[in-house]
Amino acid sequence: MAIRKIAQMGDPVLRRRAEEVPPAELASAAIQRLIDDMIETMRDADGAGIAAPQVNESLRISVIEVVRNPRYPDFPGIPFTVLVNPLIEPLVGTSPLAERDSIVMYEGCLSVNGIRGRVRRPRKVRVRGLDREGHALDFTWEGVPAAVVQHETDHLDGILFVDRADPRSLTFLREYDRYVPRELRLVDGVELVD
């Protein structure tokens, strides 16, 4: 396993539509090594998730994990998940996206170093795809996990959170720490960084 360099905003790899992984190639040493490296890179950087384009591989793979933090006993974390060729289907009305159907939270990104911004997304999504062994996945996430899986899947379509953020909410980390009130950083009882 190896920690890989994380592409930063401006790198064209972050703006391409990533390629589907042919299921027959999922078991290959190269793809399995890539997944191991993504896990190690995400954990090393304290990210909530990472997508393959962020480590310079234009493939439709993401990994997600938020370890339960005793500081936020109401938030159970997000189970460790490897998602290959994911499809995301909002389970709420989206046009227009009503307030009760949305989750609004400050997001950050390992590829947009040092910036946070408020993003509104559908609150509940169905997620389908494959795990790293090629088994079918089909589950529903709501709240913070739903926002995270949408953020990671956006990466596979060349979309960064800054494209969806309220532009007037964008803030550097120093100013975020200084000026964003704590209640605005907390969503469903958790403060999520990356």
Catalytic residue numbers read: 152
Please say which residue, 78 or 109, places its beta carbon nearer to Ni ion: 109
109 is a contact residue toward Ni ion (CB under 5 A): yes
User: C-beta of 150: minimal distance to Ni ion in Å?
Assistant: 11
Enumerate the β-bridge partners of residue 36: none
Task: Copy the structure tokens of residue 42.
Answer: 């995400």
Of 86, 60, 68, which is closest to residue 139 (Cα–Cα)? 86
Q: Single out the segment in contact with Ni ion by CB under 5 A; choices: 82-90, 105-113, 117-125, 165-173.
A: 105-113
Q: Single out the segment in contact with Ni ion by CB under 5 A; choices: 71-79, 108-116, 119-127, 176-184.
A: 108-116
Q: How many residues bind Ni ion (CB under 5 A)?
A: 1
Answer yes or no: are the C-beta atoms of 179 and 187 closer than 8 Å.
Answer: no
Given the structure tokens 């090629």, which residue do they identify? 134
User: C-beta of 102: minimal distance to Ni ion in Å?
Assistant: 19
User: C-beta of 111: minimal distance to Ni ion in Å?
Assistant: 5
In the bound state, the residue with its beta carbon closest to Ni ion is 109
- Identity of the residue numbered 62: S
Please say which residue, 109 or 147, places its beta carbon nearer to Ni ion: 109
Please say which residue, 6 or 100, places its beta carbon nearer to Ni ion: 6
Task: Copy the structure tokens of residue 82.
Answer: 């490897």
Residue window 3-32: x/- pattern of binding to Ni ion, with contact defined by CB under 5 A: ------------------------------
**Binding positions for Ni ion, 64-103, rule CB under 5 A:** none
CA distance 169 to 181: 13
User: C-beta of 188: minimal distance to Ni ion in Å?
Assistant: 19
- Identity of the residue numbered 75: F
Answer yes or no: are the C-beta atoms of 70 and 28 closer than 8 Å.
Answer: no
**Burial per residue of 52-71, b for 16 or more beta-carbon CB atoms within 10 angstroms, e otherwise:** bbbbebebbbbbbbbeeeee
Please say which residue, 66 or 109, places its beta carbon nearer to Ni ion: 109
What CA dihedral angle connects 151, 156, 162 and 163, to 10 degrees? -110
Per CB under 5 A, residues contacting Ni ion are 109
